Amino acid sequence: MDNGTEGVTLLTGFVFDVLQEYRSMKKTCQPVFDMAKDLDPNRQDEWCAMSLYNDVCTWIEQHIGDSSIRKAGIAIGNRAYDNIVKTQGMTSPTPLAMMESLRWAAANMIRDPKGRGWEIVSHTPKTITMRRTQTFNCIMQEGLLLSLIERTKVESPDVEHFKCTRKGDEFCEYRLSWL
C-alpha cells in the first residue's frame, strides 16, 4: 500500500470528530489538541492535511489505547451514517449500499491525487470484504465499519480485520458479516 500523504487533504471536521470523543480527557490528551490548534472549529468544511488527521489518531492509539481509538471509530461511524443517509436520501440502507456510500464519501470528502480510499473486494448476501487503500488509522476503521453495519439493522453484525499492513499485508482488509 502507498502510505504517502503528500498532497492528500480531508475535511477538517474529521479531525474535530476525533477530538470530540476526547473532550472529557482534554488534560490527558493535551498534546493531541495542540496538534490541531491551528484548525478553526467553526470552519469544519475547510481542508487540512491528511497527515495531521493520521498523527492525531496515532497519538490516541499509542497513548490512550487500541480500544479507545476503536470506540472513537464507532462514534465517528455513527455521525458518518447520519450524514450519508441524509445526503444520499437513504431510508433503510442495506449493508452493501452503506459500503458503496462509504466509498463515495471517502472519494468526495478526501482529496487524494492517487484516488485512494475504500474498495469493495467482494460481497455475498451475508458478507462484504472491504479494502482500506488510504492511510486511515486501521484500528479506528474497525469501529467505523462496525458502526455503519450495525446501523443498517442487520442481526449480529461483526467486523474481522483479517489482513493488516502492520502485519506485512499489502492492504488492510475487513470482513463484515451478519446473520
* pLDDT tens for each residue of 18-36: 999 999 999 999 999 999 9
SS3 assignment for 25-72: HCCCCHHHHHHCCCCCCCCCCCEEEHHHHHHHHHHHHHHCCHHHHHHH
- pLDDT tens-place string over residues 72-96: 999 888 878 887 888 788 888 999 9
Q: How many helices (H) and strands (E) does the chain have?
A: 6, 7
Compute how many other C-beta atoms are within 10 angstroms of the C-beta atom of residue 23. 9
Residue pair 61/139 in contact by the 8 Å Cβ criterion: yes
Class of domain 9-177: alpha beta
- The whole-model pTM stands at 0.90
